[in-house]
Amino acid sequence: MKNATFRALGRVIDLLLRHRVLVVATIAALTCVMGYLAAHIEIKTVFSDLLPKNHPYVAVNNKFKQTFGGSNMVSIMLEVEQGDIFDMKLLGKVQKITQDLKKVEGVDTYQIVSLASKKMKEVRASTEGIESRPLMWPNLPRDQAGIAALREAVLNNPLVYGPYVSIDMKATLITADFTDGAVNYLKAYEQIQAIAERASGDGVLVRVVGEPILYGLVNHYLTETLYIFLITVGALVFLLLLISRTWHGTLLPLVTGGVSAVWALGAAKLMGFHLDPLVIVVAFLITAQAISNSVQLVSRFDDEVAAGAPSTAAAAKASLSNLFKPGMLAIVADAGCVLVVALTPIPMLEKISYIGTVWILSIMFSAMVLTPVLLSWCGLRRRYAHPVNIMPALQGILGLCARLVTSRARYAIVGGAAVVFVVSGLYAFNLKVGDANPGSPILWPDSTYNRDASAINQKFQGSDRMFVVVGGKHEGALKEPAVLEGMERFQKYMEAQPEVGGSLSLADILPAVKRVVREGNARYQELGNSANENGELVYMFVSGADPGDMDRFADPQALNGAVTLFFRDHQGETIRTAIARVKEYVAAHPIADAEFLLAGGLVGVLAAVNEVILAGQIEAIAFALLVLVVCCMFTYRSSVAGMFFMVPVLLSNTLTFSYMAWKGIGMNINTLPVVALGIGLGVDYSFYIVDGIREELHHHRDIGRAIAKSIASAGKGVLITALTLVTSVVLWSFSSLRLQADMGVLIAIWLFISACSALFLMPAMVLVFRPEFIVGSKRHPIEQATAVEPVPAF
Interface residues with other proteins (CB under 8 A)? Answer: 155-156, 161, 167-168, 433, 488-489, 491-493, 495-497, 502, 519-523, 525-526, 573, 576-577, 579-581, 584, 611, 614-616, 618-619, 621-623, 625-626, 629, 639-640, 642-643, 646, 650, 768-772
Report, in Å, the least distance between residue 488 CB and other proteins: 8
What single letter denotes the amino acid at residue 77? M
What is the Cβ-side half-sphere exposure of residue 47, based on CA atoms within 13 angstroms? 28
Report, in Å, the least distance between residue 411 CB and other proteins: 8
Q: Compute the distance between CA of residue 463 and CA of residue 602 in angstroms, rounded to an integer.
A: 10
C-alpha angle 66/70/593, rounded to 5°?
70
Q: Closer to other proteins by CB, 474 or 780: give it.
A: 780
β-strand partners of 175 = 75, 113
Report, in Å, the least distance between residue 433 CB and other proteins: 6
List Cβ neighbours of 29 (8 Å cut-off, separation of 6 or more). none
Report, in Å, the least distance between residue 499 CB and other proteins: 10
Cβ atoms of 300 and 716 within 8 Å: the answer is no
Q: Compute the distance between CA of residue 65 and CA of residue 128 in angstroms, rounded to an integer.
A: 37
Report, in Å, the least distance between residue 502 CB and other proteins: 8
What is the Cβ-side half-sphere exposure of residue 630, based on CA atoms within 13 angstroms? 11
Q: 3-class SS at 500?
A: strand
Q: Assign 3-state DSSP to the chain and report helix, strand, coil percentages, each to 5.
A: 65, 10, 25
What are the φ/ψ torsions at residue 594 (nearest 5 degrees)? -155, 165
Cα separations (Å) of 665 from 266, 282, 726?
Answer: 32, 17, 20
Report, in Å, the least distance between residue 590 CB and other proteins: 16
Report, in Å, the least distance between residue 602 CB and other proteins: 19
Q: Closer to other proteins by CB, 549 or 619: give it.
A: 619
Q: Closer to other proteins by CB, 584 or 702: give it.
A: 584
C-alpha angle 734/47/614, rounded to 5°?
80
Q: Closer to other proteins by CB, 254 or 626: give it.
A: 626
Report, in Å, the least distance between residue 520 CB and other proteins: 6
- For residue 504, what is the DSSP state? E
Q: Compute the distance between CA of residue 702 and CA of residue 670 in angstroms, rounded to an integer.
A: 49
Q: Compute the distance between CA of residue 775 and CA of residue 696 in angstroms, rounded to an integer.
A: 10
What single letter denotes the amino acid at residue 6? F
Using alpha carbons, select from 572, 684, 668, 664 the residue that is nearest to residue 617: 668
List Cβ neighbours of 243 (8 Å cut-off, separation of 6 or more). 249, 390, 391, 394, 720, 723, 724
What does the radius of gyration of the chain's CA atoms come to, in whole angstroms? 32
Cβ atoms of 654 and 428 within 8 Å: the answer is yes
What single letter denotes the amino acid at residue 64? F
The length of the chain is 794
β-strand partners of 177 = 73
3-state secondary structure 377-421: CCCCCCCCCCCCCCHHHHHHHHHHHHHHHHCCHHHHHHHHHHHHH
Report, in Å, the least distance between residue 116 CB and other proteins: 22
Instruction: Calculate helix-pair angle for 312-339, 601-636, nearest 10 degrees.
Output: 140
**How far out from the chain centre does Cα 282 lie?**
9
Q: Closer to other proteins by CB, 237 or 650: give it.
A: 650
Q: Closer to other proteins by CB, 530 or 784: give it.
A: 530
Report, in Å, the least distance between residue 660 CB and other proteins: 15
Using alpha carbons, select from 599, 520, 528 the residue that is nearest to residue 564: 599
Q: Compute the distance between CA of residue 260 and CA of residue 442 in angstroms, rounded to an integer.
A: 28
Q: Closer to other proteins by CB, 642 or 648: give it.
A: 642
Q: Closer to other proteins by CB, 444 or 493: give it.
A: 493
Q: Closer to other proteins by CB, 190 or 526: give it.
A: 526
Cβ atoms of 440 and 453 within 8 Å: the answer is yes
Q: Closer to other proteins by CB, 350 or 772: give it.
A: 772
Q: Closer to other proteins by CB, 22 or 482: give it.
A: 482
Report, in Å, the least distance between residue 226 CB and other proteins: 36
Report, in Å, the least distance between residue 718 CB and other proteins: 24
Residue 124, sorted as left (phi over 0), alpha (psi -120 to 50) or beta, turns out to be beta
Q: Closer to other proteins by CB, 279 or 414: give it.
A: 414
Residue 386, sorted as left (phi over 0), alpha (psi -120 to 50) or beta, turns out to be beta
Q: Closer to other proteins by CB, 100 or 772: give it.
A: 772
Report, in Å, the least distance between residue 480 CB and other proteins: 16
Report, in Å, the least distance between residue 623 CB and other proteins: 8
First and final C-alpha spacing in the chain: 18
Cβ atoms of 469 and 597 within 8 Å: the answer is yes
Q: Closer to other proteins by CB, 41 or 643: give it.
A: 643
Report, in Å, the least distance between residue 384 CB and other proteins: 45
Q: Closer to other proteins by CB, 343 or 545: give it.
A: 343
